[in-house]
Amino acid sequence: MGYKRMTIDDLYNLFRRWRAGHSLSKIAGAAGCDRKTVRQYIRRFVDAGISDKDPRADKGVLYPVFEKILPVTERARPARSELERFEDELRQLIQDPKEPLKAKTAYQFLKRKYELQASYESFKGFVREKGLAQAHKKRVARIELPPGRETQIDYGKMGLLFDRLCGRNRVVWAFCASLSHCRLPFFQYVYTQKQESFAGSFIDTFEYYGGTTESASIDNLKAGVINPDLWDPTLNRTLAEVADYYGVFIDPCRVGKSTDKGKVERLVPLARELFRLLKRLYPDADLRVLNEHAGRWCREEYGVKPHGTTHVAPLEAFQSVEKAHLRPLSAERFEVPVWKEVKAHRGDGFFTFLNKRYAVPDAYRGKSVWVRYTGRSRLLQVFEGHTL
């Protein structure tokens, strides 16, 4: 049990329970201290002339005696002395105006960088005492589903990362996925939310888990859903092809209802904290290296700790239960196409796609058509509606 500093009010409540005949265990449980501590103070009561048979209960009489009983020396606190050395840096990490770290992530950073010896319990007490802890966010209800039923998908903005290819800082987003039954997560950091990137992350998720679930719940972003509708949403053609190829049903959530995919919503702040931690630990890492670390973190750190709701480690639940219920993947990885609606010129019948000009027959001049392009096969197809 951790060290507790007793106050005069604590001693008065201890005295009342002692006089009422409560056992040492009951008094210790109510006071939040050890039985040896209770026994020690009862002995001091007796030495000061206070008896459990004494009818006196006036605080004006007892409190002066209690002041003499309380210890005047402070207990050594080596963990606090160690943490005080990093107070300024800790304050900067947690209260950074652009990319603040949560207290737990800041502790992991100090522990890895300086080989911090203080325990996490001591660290939490220090953070609370200094007023650095952030307020907890509202929790959401989680609905339990059978294994292999659903994958929840979400995007979240992470921050800036220097891109060596273009020589400037770029905004990084996290594609986050979670299996609804076992809660095993998947994080992938990306620079864009375009349709081909979104669909590619979908496929990477399937390959990460080694199979697909029956359905996938997603937000109503344009890379996935063109027309949000509760009963009949219009899916982006690229995502619709991916879902059809892998046999997955796409279930867009209601607009503005994050609770429809509450399991993955909780992971977005964790992905952001991990991104900020990895940036500080590996300042020269690119997006590929960060994703490698993120994959290991999902399995080797988050995956091995018992989940707060299921009380089972996500990786254990995945390997022992959910993995067997996933649908097998196709032998060949799907080549993600790019779809775009263009309008053929009324005069010459040409349209522009990816900075190049193409022509359609005269019958399609002035009409809007859909263009489908796959980079690996270098195949461009033109559709009127669903007709090639």
Tell whether 50 is covered by a domain.
yes
Same domain? 184 vs 221: yes
The pLDDT profile of the chain, 388 residues, written as one tens digit per residue, is 455 677 877 888 888 888 888 888 888 887 778 888 889 888 888 888 887 776 655 667 787 888 888 775 555 567 778 888 888 888 888 888 888 888 888 888 888 888 888 888 888 888 888 887 655 555 555 578 899 999 998 888 999 999 988 889 999 999 999 999 999 999 999 998 888 888 899 999 999 999 999 988 887 665 556 555 444 456 778 888 888 889 888 888 776 666 667 788 889 999 999 999 999 999 999 999 999 999 999 999 999 999 888 889 999 999 999 999 999 998 889 998 988 899 999 888 899 998 899 999 988 998 999 999 998 888 999 998 778 8
Write down the pLDDT at residue 257: 65
Same domain? 124 vs 202: no
Same domain? 348 vs 236: no
Write down the pLDDT at residue 289: 94
Whichever domain contains 179, its CATH number is: 3.30.420.10
Give Cα 202 to chain centroid, integer Å.
Answer: 19
Tell whether 141 is covered by a domain.
no
Tell whether 296 is covered by a domain.
yes
Instruction: List, in sequence order, the alpha helices (H) in the chain.
Output: 8-19, 24-31, 35-47, 59-69, 78-84, 87-94, 103-114, 120-130, 195-209, 237-246, 262-265, 267-281, 287-296, 314-320
For residue 36, with 0-12 CB atoms within 10 Å meaning exposed, 13-18 middle and 19 or more buried, which class applies?
exposed
Residue 63's identity, in one-letter code, is Y
Tokens at 280, concatenated: 């500080």
Same domain? 160 vs 57: no
Bridge-based pairing state of the strands 249-252 and 215-218: parallel
Same domain? 93 vs 16: no
Tell whether 139 is covered by a domain.
no
**DSSP assignment of 210-264:** TSB-SEEEE---TTTEEE--SSS-EE-HHHHHHHHHHT-EEEEPPTT-GGGGHHH
* Last residue of one domain, picked from the residues 69, 94, 109: 69
Write down the pLDDT at residue 141: 56
Same domain? 24 vs 114: no
For 89, residues 6+ apart whose C-beta sits below 8 A from its C-beta are 110
Place of tokens 């496929």: 203
Write down the pLDDT at residue 233: 54
Same domain? 361 vs 241: no
Write down the pLDDT at residue 131: 80
Report the distance separating Cα 59 and Cα 8, nearest Å: 10
Same domain? 88 vs 221: no
Tell whether 332 is covered by a domain.
no
Same domain? 167 vs 305: yes
Write down the pLDDT at residue 230: 46
φ, ψ at 368 (rounded to 5°): -85, 130
Tell whether 145 is covered by a domain.
no
Same domain? 34 vs 165: no
Tokens at 309, concatenated: 């709701």
Same domain? 176 vs 305: yes
For 6, residues 6+ apart whose C-beta sits below 8 A from its C-beta are 33, 37, 41, 70
Counting the structural domains of the chain, the total is: 4
| Range(s) of the domain holding residue 38 | 8-69
Write down the pLDDT at residue 176: 93
